[in-house]
Chain A
Amino acid sequence: MLKDHRELLVRFQSLIALALMVLALSLLSDTFLTPQNGWNILRQISVNLCLSLGMTLIILAGGIDLSVGAVLALSGAVAAGLLKTGVAVTPLEVQLQFTVFGAIVAGLLTGAAAGLFNGWVITQFRLPPFVATLGMFSIARGLTMLWTGGFPITGLGPDFGFLGTGVFLGIPMPVWISGVLVGALVVLTRRTRFGRYIYAVGGNERAALLTGLPVNRIKLGVYTLGGLLAGAAGLIVTARLDSAQPNAGLGYELDSIAAVVIGGTSLSGGRGSVVGTVLGCLIIGVLNNGLFLLDVSPFWQQVVKGFVILAAVAIDKMSSRET
C-alpha cells in the first residue's frame, strides 16, 4: 500500500510540484493567477518548449544536444537574411527574393540540416554526443556571425512577425505552434514504431542493435528532428523580436535540458515522456514568472532554478534506484 503511494508520488512528481508552485504563487501574488498572466507564461515557455521537445527525443535515445541554442540563432538568422535581402545569383543577373513561406522553410531546413550533421558525426565517427554537438555549437555560432556580419537583421515585416506576435482564435501564435508540436510528438512517441524504437535505443543500445533495429538511422532521425524543432524555435524568437540577433539563444540549451530533466526524463535515456517535458517547461516558466512577480532578484532566480534542477535529478536518481 505504502509502495503504491510512493510509486504514485514518483509518477506524478512533476505535476505535484507544478500544482504546489501554482498554489503557493497564487497566495503570494495577486496577479499570478489571472488569465493574462497565464497566456503570458505560455507565450514565454513556447520557445523553450520547442527546444525541449527535440531535446526529449535526443535524451530518450541516450544522447544530448548542446547546440540547440546556436542552431536556433542560425535558423532565425538564415530566415531573416533571406527574407530581408534574398540571394543574388550573379551569373544569371537575378536575385531570389524569398517570400515569408520560403524564409520559414529555409529556417526549418537549416535547423534540420544542423541536426542531421550532428547525427551523422555521432553515428559515423562514433563521437560522444556531448563532443559532437559542442562542435556544432561553435560551428553554428560562427556561421551565424558570418551570415549576419555580427549585426542584427531587423525590420522583417508584419507577415513574418505574425508567427511570434500574432493571435489566432484568441490564442497567441507561439502557443499554437508549440501546442501542435507537442501533439505531434506525443503521437510520434506513443503511437509510432519510430517512437518505440527511440525508447529501445535509449534503454539499451546494444540490445536494440542485436535485435536488428536500425540504430544509426534512428539516431540520425532523432537529431534531425531536434534540429528541426530548434529551427522552429529560432523562427518564433526572430518573429517575436522582429529581429534576428546573432547572439540569440545563448544558454537556451541548458534551459531545455533542465526542462527535460525536471519533467522526469532520465539523462541515461530510455525513460521519460513528452508530457513530462511540457510539465518541466511549465515548472521553469511558472518559477521564472512567479519569482519575477515577487520581485526576487534575477540573480536569486538563477540560484533557485539551479536548486530545482538538482532536486529533480536527485528525485529521479532515488526513484530509479528503488524500481
Chain B
Amino acid sequence: MWGRRRWITGTTVAAGTMVLLYFLPLFHVVPLEQARQRAAVAVYDPVEFVDWFWTEQLIPGAAEAIDAAELVATVQQDRQLARETHGRRVGLGGAYYFFVAGSGRIVSVDRYSVGLALCDDQQQIQVLLETGPIFGNAVRDGTGLLDVNDFANSQDFNALSAEINRRIEQQVLPDLRTGAAIGVTVRFVGCAEILDEGTDLSPLRIVPFLVEMP
C-alpha cells in the first residue's frame, strides 16, 4: 500500500517537474563558437569608448562650458552662489565640479601647473592649468556628458576616467608644457574638481582637455 502510494507520488512529482522545466527551462544550449562571438561583442573597451567620446561628445560639448572669467568673478563675490549656479554635483558626496572655458595670459610656470591671469590688467594667478600627472574624475564627472548608470559597473566607469586622464597627459599636456612661457596667451577648456567646501578656489585648479596657443 505504502509502496504504491510512494510510487504514485514520485511519478506525479517527476511529471510535474518535467512539465515545469518544459515551460521554464533551466538553460539553453548554444554552440560554443556562437557564445564566444556574442561575448566578444559585449566586451567593453574603455580605449575604444574614449576614442568615440572624445571626438563625438567631449570636443563638441566644449561649447557648453561656462566662461572662466565669469566664474572667477562669481567665486570672488560669493563662493556658495558660484557652486549653486555653475557647479555640478555628482552622487551624495560633497564634491562638485565646474566645466569651464576661457583664455588668459601665462603669469607663472612650475613643474605641475601653468598659472593664468584672465584679464590684461591682472597680475595675480586666477586659474591654474594642471600639467600632470592627472588624477581624479574632473573631466569624466565635470562635463555632465557621462552618466554612471549607462555603464555596467563602477569598474568600467572608473576605467573610463583613467583612460581620459591618460589621454589628456599624452595628447594635451605635452604641448602646454613645452609652449608655456610667461606672457603667452592660452585658450583652454577643462574641468575643476572641488573635493569639499574647504578647498581653496583662488586660484581655480583646472584639468584642461583642450589647449590652444599661438
What is the interface of chain A, defined by CB distance below 8 A to chain B?
82, 85-86, 88-90, 93-99, 101-102, 105-106, 151-152, 154-155, 243
Q: List 14 A-B contacts (CB under 8 A).
A: A88-B32, A93-B32, A95-B29, A95-B30, A95-B32, A95-B35, A97-B29, A99-B24, A99-B27, A151-B155, A152-B153, A152-B155, A155-B153, A243-B153
Q: Are A93 and B31 interface neighbours, CB within 8 A?
A: yes
Q: How far is the CA of A154 from the CA of B148 in the complex (A)?
A: 14
Q: Judging by beta carbons under 8 Å apart, are B27 and A102 in contact?
A: yes
Chain B residue nearest to A85 (CB atoms) is B39
Contact A99 B28 (CB under 8 A): yes
Distance of B191 from chain A, by nearest CB (Å)? 27
Give which listed residue, A97, A105, A152, A154, contacts B35 with CB less than 8 A. Answer: A97
**Which of A85, A90, A93, A96: most chain B Cβ within 10 A?**
A96
A88 partner, pick from B24, B26, B35, beta carbons under 8 A: B35
List 5 A-B pairs, minimum CB-CB distance, nearest first. Answer: A102-B26, A154-B153, A95-B35, A155-B152, A96-B27
Nearest B residue to A154 via CB reads B153
Residues of B within 8 A of A102 (CB): 25-27
Majority SS at the chain B contact face: mixed
- Residue from A85, A98, A152 within 8 A of B26 (CB atoms): A98
* Complex interface bits, B135-154 against A, C-beta within 8 A gives 1, otherwise 0: 00000000000000000110
Q: Is the CB of A86 within 8 A of B153?
A: no
Contact digits for B7-40, partner A, Cβ 8 Å, 1 yes 0 no = 0000000000000000011111111111100010
Cβ contact within 8 Å between B26 and A101: yes
Are A90 and B25 in touch, CB under 8 angstroms? no
Is the Cβ of A101 less than 8 Å from the Cβ of B35?
no
Min CB distance A186 to B, Å, is: 24
Tell me the nearest residue of chain B to A82, going by C-beta.
Answer: B27
B175 to chain A, nearest CB (A): 37
A93 to chain B, nearest CB (A): 5
Q: Which residues of B contact A90 (CB under 8 A)?
A: 32
Given contacts A88-B32, A93-B31, is CB(A101)–CB(B153) below 8 Å?
Answer: no
User: When A88-B32, A90-B32, A93-B32 are in contact, do A98 and B27 touch as well, CB less than 8 Å?
Assistant: yes
Q: How large is the interface on B (under 10, 10 to 19, 20 to 34, 35 or more residues)?
A: 10 to 19
| Closest beta carbon of chain A to B29's beta carbon, Å | 5
Chain B nearest CB from A189 CB (Å) reads 23
In the bound complex, residues from chain A placing their C-beta under 8 Å from that of B152 are: 154-155
By beta carbon, the residue of chain A nearest B24 is A101
B28 / chain A contacts, CB cutoff of 8 Å: 96-97, 99
Q: How far is the CB of B16 from chain A (nearest CB, A)?
A: 15
Residues of chain A with a CB closer than 8 A to B33's CB = 93
Distance of A243 Cα from B24 Cα, bound (Å): 23
Chain B residue numbers with a CB within 8 Å of A101 are 24-26
**B20 — nearest CB in chain A belongs to which residue?**
A101
CA–CA, A40 and B87, complex, Å: 32
Tell me whether A94 and B32 are in contact (CB under 8 A).
Answer: yes
In the bound assembly, the distance between CA atoms of A82 and B26 in angstroms comes to 10
- Quote the shortest CB–CB distance from B100 to chain A (angstroms): 34
Other-chain contact of B29, A82, A96, A106, A243 (Cβ < 8 Å):
A96
Contacts A88-B35, A155-B153, A243-B153; is A94 near B30 (CB within 8 Å)?
yes
Give the chain A neighbours of B32 by CB distance below 8 A. 88-90, 93-95
Q: How far is the CB of A3 from chain B (nearest CB, A)?
A: 49
Given A154-B153, A155-B152, verify A99-B29 contact (CB < 8 Å): no
Determine the distance from Cα of A108 to Cα of B142 in the docked complex, in whole angstroms: 43
- In the bound complex, how far is the Cα of B54 from the Cα of A202, in angstroms? 66
Give the chain A neighbours of B31 by CB distance below 8 A. Answer: 93-95
Minimum CB–CB distance for A81 against chain B, Å: 13
- Min distance, Cβ B43 to any Cβ of chain A, angstroms: 12
Indicate which residue in B25, B34, B35, B153 contacts A99 across the interface (CB closer than 8 Å): B25
The residue of chain B having its C-beta at the shortest distance from the C-beta of A94 within the complex is B29
Contacts of A155 in B (CB 8 A): 152-153
- Closest CB of chain B to A247's CB: distance in Å? 14
The CA-CA distance from A246 to B30 in the complex, in Å, is 28
Known: A93-B33, A94-B31, A99-B27. 19 other contacts (CB 8 A): A86-B35, A88-B32, A90-B32, A94-B30, A95-B30, A95-B32, A95-B34, A96-B27, A97-B27, A99-B24, A99-B26, A101-B26, A105-B26, A151-B155, A152-B153, A152-B155, A154-B153, A155-B153, A243-B153
Residues from chain B with Cβ under 8 Å of A94 in the complex: 29-32
B34 to A, closest residue via Cβ: A95
With both chains docked as a complex, state the minimum distance between the C-beta of B143 and any C-beta of chain A, in angstroms.
24
**Whole-angstrom distance from the CB of A163 to the nearest CB of chain B?**
15
Interface centre among B29, B31, B33 (most CB of A within 10 A): B29
A102 to B32, CA, bound (A): 19
Cα(A243)–Cα(B152), bound, Å: 9
